[in-house]
Amino acid sequence: MATADLLTADDLLALNIQDKRTELVRGQLVVREPAGFRHGAIAAELTARLADFVRARALGVVVAAETGFKLSSNPDTVRAPDIGFISMARVPSPLPRGYASLAPDLAVEVLSPDDRPGDVLAKVSDWLSAGSRLVWVVDPDRRVARLYRADGSESLVLADGALEGEDVLPGFTCRLDTLV
């Protein structure tokens, strides 16, 4: 352990907390319950659609839920999106066994009923501050998604609208009502 109070990314990697989701936020361990079934079904469907699109065009790598990214150091922050996309030019080679020290170009968060708005916005801020170009926050209960961009702009997608890859994944589109 780095200190009695702060953990490092290496400490987090060595922890083995069964049946929990963990992240590190400015050296502090965050432990959450596993996501529910609906959350998992939506995240899996969107992951499959993104992965198919990316693979067919050799655009990069899509990573599954709970893949950790080291976003900052001293104190360390390791965040894990529900889905991440890294463009081919930014994919580390070789692929790291631990956390990649970068932010995904696209980070996707699917809200769970226990997510608190302040925590979600803090996570969005961490993604954008670390270099993510686009963050989608999908809210299954409200049947909407909020899009946050690196330039500070944001927009709301209603149930009959579509998630679009914009300049991160040009040509990608997915109607929100097919997910939620």
* Domains parsed from the chain with CATH numbers: 36-178 (3.90.1570.10)
**pLDDT per residue over 97-143, tens digit each?**
999 999 999 999 999 888 889 999 999 999 999 999 999 999 999 99
User: Residue 61: helix, strand or coil by DSSP?
Assistant: strand
Q: Does 173 have pLDDT greater than 90? A: yes
What single letter denotes the amino acid at residue 44? A
First to last CA, the chain: 41
Q: DSSP alpha helices (H): ranges in 58-161?
A: 117-130
